[in-house]
Amino acid sequence: MQRLIKRLIEDHKHLSRVLSCLQREMYGFSGGEDPPDMGVILDAMDYIQNYPEAFHHPLEDRIYEQMASHISDPELLEMLERIKIQHSQLKELTRRLQNDFHAVANDQILPVDRLLTDFRAYDELLVEHMACENEHLIPAIEQYLGPAELEQITAELETRPDPMFGGQLLAQYEDLYNYLVESERAA
Ligand SMILES: [Fe+2]
Ligand SMILES: [Fe+2]
């Protein structure tokens, strides 16, 4: 159990770091001194699509599916249902934001307001979502996920390490990782 809980909490911390990096770069679109680094932004979006969106949130959905029948507390079920809906909303907002950034990178005309609005929507939802999971989903997993389901979920974790923070840094995220470490050191 501890391995699964630790992994989910670490994933949240890592995603928060990537989000902070995007927040910093977004100042460049709203009057900040330094222009936004599109390479960093596109790498960050690629990472978000490649790991949190492709693995972390879907895994949480599968965990929820497997333990839902053991939960009778209506308030908790409502909260877990809300987390599941947020996963769909995040998926949509991520896709929208990634399209926006690709448009900017390809010199297509895109109103800055649209970019800032789309980013704010994503940023606010993600922060609330992770706080909500830490507060409700994780304790529910500790209480309700059965041993057979836990074994299956834990096996899935092993097949899919985080491509940037999971011990082996994928070459495509080296620049982003170095940028993250540097900017955190400077902050
Ligand atoms: Fe999630
Ligand atoms: Fe999560």
CA 55 to centroid of ligand 1, rounded, Å: 10
CA 100 to centroid of ligand 1, rounded, Å: 23
CA 71 to centroid of ligand 1, rounded, Å: 19
Instruction: Write down the pLDDT at residue 31.
Output: 86
Cβ burial of 137 (10 Å; 0-12, 13-18, 19+) is buried
Tell me the angle at which helices 74-105 and 57-67 cross, rounded to the nearest 10 degrees: 160
CA 110 to centroid of ligand 2, rounded, Å: 31
Instruction: Write down the pLDDT at residue 63.
Output: 97
CA 99 to centroid of ligand 2, rounded, Å: 23
- Which ligand minimizes its atom distance to the CA of 90? 1
Instruction: Write down the pLDDT at residue 184.
Output: 92
* Contacts by 31-37, CB closer than 8 A, 24 or more apart: 37/179
CA 14 to centroid of ligand 2, rounded, Å: 11
CA 42 to centroid of ligand 2, rounded, Å: 22
- Which ligand minimizes its atom distance to the CA of 12? 2
Q: How many domains does the chain have?
A: 1
Instruction: Write down the pLDDT at residue 38.
Output: 95
What's the CATH code of the domain at 166? Answer: 1.20.120.520
Q: What is the pLDDT of residues 70-89, one digit of tens each?
A: 999 999 999 999 999 999 99
CA 6 to centroid of ligand 2, rounded, Å: 11
Instruction: Write down the pLDDT at residue 32.
Output: 85
CA 163 to centroid of ligand 2, rounded, Å: 16
Instruction: Write down the pLDDT at residue 166.
Output: 94
Instruction: Write down the pLDDT at residue 80.
Output: 98
CA 183 to centroid of ligand 1, rounded, Å: 26
Weakly modelled stretches of the chain, pLDDT under 50: none
Domain enclosing residue 161, as ranges:
2-186
CA 144 to centroid of ligand 1, rounded, Å: 18
Percentages (nearest 5) of helix, strand, coil residues in the chain: 85, 0, 15
Instruction: Write down the pLDDT at residue 48.
Output: 98
Instruction: Write down the pLDDT at residue 119.
Output: 97
pTM of the shown model: 0.95
